[in-house]
Amino acid sequence: MSQLKPTRQQTQSALDELSSQLYDELKQSSLKHWLDDHKVAKKLDQKIQEWAFQAKSSLDQQHPYLHAQQQLEHWLKAEFSVAELKQLMDEYADFNQSLGQLELTGYWQVQNDIQLLSPQNIALQAALVKQKWQRKLMEAVAHWEFEQLSLQRDTFLEEIKDFLATLAKMAKYQDSLGFETGIFIDYSKGQLTEQDMQHFEQWASCLEQDAELKRLCHQIGSAQPHKPRKRLNATLSATPEQYVEQSAQEEITGIKLAHDLSLALPSELALLADPDLQILFDLKFLEANLMSFNMQGQQHGRVIEDQHQKRQRMGQKGPMLICLDTSGSMNGQPELISKAICLYLSMQALREKRAMYIVNFSTNITALNVKRDGGLDDVIHFLAQSFHGGTDILPAMSHAVEMLKQPQFAHADVVVISDFIMGHLTDELMQEISQYKEQGNGFYAVAIGNIRLDHLDESLFDHQWIYQSNRGEVVQLH
């Protein structure tokens, strides 16, 4: 059946032509400057290649000429008599009619004289009809494929323009959010809706217009527990490990220059037997140049490593768990500010490749583990959600503490963003939090609103910031 369809080369040529048209139209649009950005251009190449692959796969569906193709497949294998030739020509005429064409050249003459044709002429006439049918069928299917690809190209072009337009909107806020366009390209699925962008622009604009709020975001992102603590979370290997130790002399591994008489080669010791060569031996011994056996073995032991100290040596920031209050008391400006902070911290986490986990809470909770693949889209979708009910911090903090038991977040810092109009935590949970604080996990409070300075729990939080929304000022408590 494949011999009656356009060749792969023909289909690929059509795809190449349409892809070229895509680039030409983009170059003529108001978004053409993005083509000069190396990372954007690379992403567009990837998207166009993916589109071409999917478009080519979609052409495997049944095309509108499948019945005519099956008829011709039958005739290509058939033997012909007068009756078969007449049926072949009738079906060929029906196919032409479906194309809006009429086959007039010699058709009626053959139909009238068909009874007079010799067997040789019948076979010749059948071969001619099959050849014409096959050529027209391939042309018809190729034309249909090109039309389908053109329709798909138009739809895809609109998607590309939407993608670049979204990129342009986000790029306006790259200074206020501290990110480059590459972050959007690397960590976005490119599927943000108009409503998503409205939310994003609201939060980003809030940061852009408020220098104090942006300074607060920097402080949160770089904060460390201010009290020196005993590090209890050093990693101890579960099974003894072997490591090379020169002092564990178990076997000969080679020759070295040394001044160890017990390991000296017999040829070196033989110098002592000749009084004339004794002075040479003495010189070689003093200069540690005696040819000696190199002995080496393995020691068994356990390796202890403090993960926090390792992280500090490497200059890396650890994971972050954010508890975001979207209860009714946060509705309005406080919620806008808190989500702007959360957006900033999330984008910094993506840029710095830090693990991030967000808990949205009221009396219930929802959570998002921010993944690098499409993480930015997920964050914007997630932050658009709100509860607007009562406030209960207990489920959120309990969930955050449970997440600290996961290896990925074992060394995470917990940030609570709320107006802190809520009850207190249980003694059991406070004790568990104290244990994590002793292990080096930081617990930070970001209070939104004009609350009392003594409202926050000093025993719970290492650092406490209050964003006083009536004055647009940040107060830091210790």
The pLDDT of residue 129 is above 60: yes
HSE (side-chain half, CA atoms, 13 Å) at 433: 24
H helix count then E strand count, the chain: 17, 12
Q: How confident is the model at residue 421 (pLDDT cuts 50, 70, 90)?
A: confident
* pLDDT value at residue 60: 61
State the amino acid at position 194 in one-letter form. E
Q: What are 243's strand-pairing partners?
A: 299
Domains along the chain with CATH numbers: 1-171 (no CATH), 199-229+309-477 (3.40.50.410), 238-302 (no CATH)
> What CA–CA distance (Å, rounded) separates 36 from 236?
51
- According to the model, what pLDDT value does residue 42 have? 83
CB-count exposure of residue 478 (10 Å: 0-12, 13-18, 19+): exposed
173 with 208: CB under 8 angstroms? Answer: yes
Distance CA 263, CA 272 (A): 15
Give the model's pLDDT for residue 64.
85
Helices (H), 361-426: 375-383, 393-403
pLDDT of residue 235: 43
CA-closest candidate to residue 389, choices 326, 322, 323, 337: 326
Q: Across residues 121-141, what is the average pLDDT?
A: 88
Q: From CA 454, how far away is CA 239, in angstroms rounded?
A: 49
Selection from 289, 287, 324 nearest residue 416 by Cα: 324
What's the CA gap between 431 and 82, in Å, rounded? 98
Distance separating alpha carbons of residues 325 and 203, to the nearest angstrom = 16
Poorest-confidence range of 1-10, 249-258, 431-440? 1-10
pLDDT of residue 298: 56
Among 50-59, 405-414, 460-469, the range with the most confident prediction by mean pLDDT is 405-414
Cα separation of 296 and 244, whole Å?
7
Q: Which of 25-29, 70-74, 216-220 is predicted least confidently?
A: 25-29
Q: Is the pLDDT of residue 454 over 60?
A: no
Q: How far apart are CA 344 and CA 218, in angstroms?
A: 9
Instruction: Label residue 237 by pLDDT band (50, 70, 90).
Output: very low
Helix (H) or strand (E) holding 251: strand 251-258
Which pLDDT value is given to residue 6? 58
Whether residue 12 is predicted with pLDDT greater than 70 in this model: the reply is yes
Q: Residue 432: what pLDDT?
A: 93
Average pLDDT over residues 444-460: 72
Give pLDDT, residue 395: 92
Greatest extent of the chain over all pairs of C-alpha atoms, in Å? 128
Mean pLDDT for the chain overall: 79
